Structure 1
Amino acid sequence: MHIRLDGKTALVTASTGGIGLAIAKGLAATGAQVVINGRSEASVAKAKAELLAAAPSASVVAVVADLSNAEGVQQLIDSLPHIDILVNNAGIYGVRDFFETDDACWDEYWQTNVMSGVRLSRALAPAMQARGWGRVVFIASESARNIPADMVHYGVSKTAQLALSRGLAKRLAGSGVTVNSVLPGPTLSDGLAQMLEEERVRTGKDIEALAADFVMAHRPTSLIQRAATVDEVANMVVYICSTLASATSGAALRVDGGVVDDIL
């Protein structure tokens, strides 16, 4: 299977590290021009340098913008070239008891995890529709279907992304623009590695083994019995953004290692 996206331009939001940066690298490797995004000049510059080190011939545009509010999203939109592929990766997460989660926290998660994708899709998808080709992808989570008791606010925001993705796919039916969600499960991203660093120092075990222990303790239904890598998640995203995935739209595609215990 040979994936090429030469001549296409892809925006990957929140792409200065973790899954987002892995997706940006994967798309750059296919020949796409890639727009990376983060909230600070330093993080964006570092990510751009890392991406170019991995793909020296890549065409990379870097835009600093905070997508947690409408003004930041508009700042990003105003800085963009035409976009063929939109990967809505921006999101936040954190453990908080439901009864201690106030309105401000709910609104923060809604604005970042849901409304950033709403605003960008609303602004960018019509031009894709007019050109007869485009890809919109929402990076959701297995928590959209397997709501964590200690992160109800996060799970709800991710479930909303699935509804948004399916509804937008229907709105763009027959246009040549596909809309899908990708649902990672436990993934050995920068955040998980940082969380496990103290344990690594204390025990001398490698990060991959500690991540596998974490998965089996907190997601024991995992079928791969380990954390996914960011590249494994990115591989699914790159495929669904490609011309090869032209018959897939309105789907929720799991890269969760089998954590969600059903056959659909």
Structure 2
Amino acid sequence: MDLGLQGRTAFISGSTQGIGYAVASALTAEDVRVTLNGRDAGRVEAAVERLRREHPGSEPRGLVADFADPAQVEGLLGALGPVDILVNNVGLFGLADFEAVDDDEWGRYFEVNVMSGVRLSRHLLGGMLERGWGRVLFISSESGVNVPADMIHYGVTKAAMLALANGLAKRTRGTAVTVNTVLGGPTYSDGVAATVEAIAAAQSIPADAMKEAIIGQNRTSLLERFIAPDEIAHLVAYLASPLASATNGAALRADGGVLTGML
């Protein structure tokens, strides 16, 4: 399906693997020139080469920056150039007791999960408005709506992303620029896969059995399996396209039915 994105440019933060890479691949398939991002130069280079192999003729590039370091982010912004589609995907994730998360860790989560979107949007949204077209997308989580007790620090930052996107959307009134949020559900990204495999190895059980046990604990899941990164990426690609021109200021679910509310 032609989404009408040929010739557009995109930047996806945190995109050397998982959902970020899947989004980069989906957009590249629509003839978007993407810029990948990661903290490690070797992994960024490998992801760029992988994208070129998977999409012959494409011209992706990579920018290295750790979004926990404002100085590195400043350097990235200076090298970025005009962007039509911004996907705020980078994020930290982890289980922890509320009492065990100190101020420094709270600050690190906000720096990466929230301030990354603040800094990128502040830098790029004005250019989109001036050029008369653009897309800003936040990859949030159902945990930002139904905050888990064992990852409150994560859920709060994902809720803050929702609030940020809601406010930014109001700045696009009467334009062809939109700002939307995707609420992802339990996704079998590379990071999650590594965690599941480590837990399975520690308990001497197959990784597939551990996957089923984990998702089985989520009684509200209608999908009853982990979501694939590509399934999130398909929704992002649609929202990035002109076909989604009437969708603005929205939080759309790709959560597998985990959230139980009607809205």
- TM-score grouping bracket, smaller chain normalisation: over 0.9
2:80 aligns to what SS in structure 1? Answer: coil
Paired with 2:89 and 2:23, the residues of 1 have a C-alpha distance of 9
Aligned to 2:239: 240
Paired with 2:149 and 2:188, the residues of 1 have a C-alpha distance of 21
Paired with 1:212 and 1:186, the residues of 2 have a C-alpha distance of 12
Tell me if structure 2 keeps the 8 A contact 1:213–1:226: no
Paired with 1:196 and 1:45, the residues of 2 have a C-alpha distance of 27
Q: CA offset at residue 83 of structure 1?
A: 0.4
* Per-residue Cα deviation, 1:193-224 (whole angstroms, up to 9, x for no partner): 1122242794446x4x642331121x220001
* Per-residue Cα deviation, 1:216-247 (whole angstroms, up to 9, x for no partner): 21x22000100000000100101100110000
- Give the number of equivalent residue pairs: 261
* Per-residue Cα deviation, 1:68-111 (whole angstroms, up to 9, x for no partner): 13212211111113100000001101111111211101110111
Aligned to 1:189: 189
Greater mean alpha carbon deviation, residues 44-53 or residues 221-230:
44-53
Aligned to 1:53: 53
- With the length of structure 1 as denominator, give the TM-score of the two structures: 0.95
Amino acid at match of 2:98: F
Tell me if structure 2 keeps the 8 A contact 1:69–1:116: no
Over 4 Å off, 4+ runs: none
Greater mean alpha carbon deviation, residues 187-196 or residues 237-246:
187-196
Amino acid at match of 1:258: G
Amino acid at match of 2:28: A
Amino acid at match of 1:18: G
Aligned to 1:81: 81
Structure 2 residue runs of 5 or longer lacking an equivalent are none
Paired with 2:109 and 2:221, the residues of 1 have a C-alpha distance of 26
Q: Does 1:223 align with 2:227?
A: no
Structure 1 residue runs of 5 or longer lacking an equivalent are none
Amino acid at match of 1:143: S
Aligned to 2:260: 261
Amino acid at match of 1:178: T
Q: CA offset at residue 60 of structure 1?
A: 0.5
Aligned to 1:113: 113
| Matched ranges for 1:116-195 at <5 A | 116-195=116-195
Greater mean alpha carbon deviation, residues 97-106 or residues 7-16:
97-106
Paired with 1:113 and 1:95, the residues of 2 have a C-alpha distance of 15
Aligned to 1:25: 25
Greater mean alpha carbon deviation, residues 194-203 or residues 136-145:
194-203
Amino acid at match of 1:235: H
* Per-residue Cα deviation, 1:20-71 (whole angstroms, up to 9, x for no partner): 0000000000000000000111110111111112111111011111111321
Paired with 1:46 and 1:114, the residues of 2 have a C-alpha distance of 27
Greater mean alpha carbon deviation, residues 188-197 or residues 250-259:
188-197
Paired with 2:101 and 2:210, the residues of 1 have a C-alpha distance of 30
Aligned to 1:16: 16
Fraction of identical pairs, as percent: 48
RMSD: 1.4
Paired with 1:71 and 1:254, the residues of 2 have a C-alpha distance of 34
Q: CA offset at residue 171 of structure 1?
A: 1.4
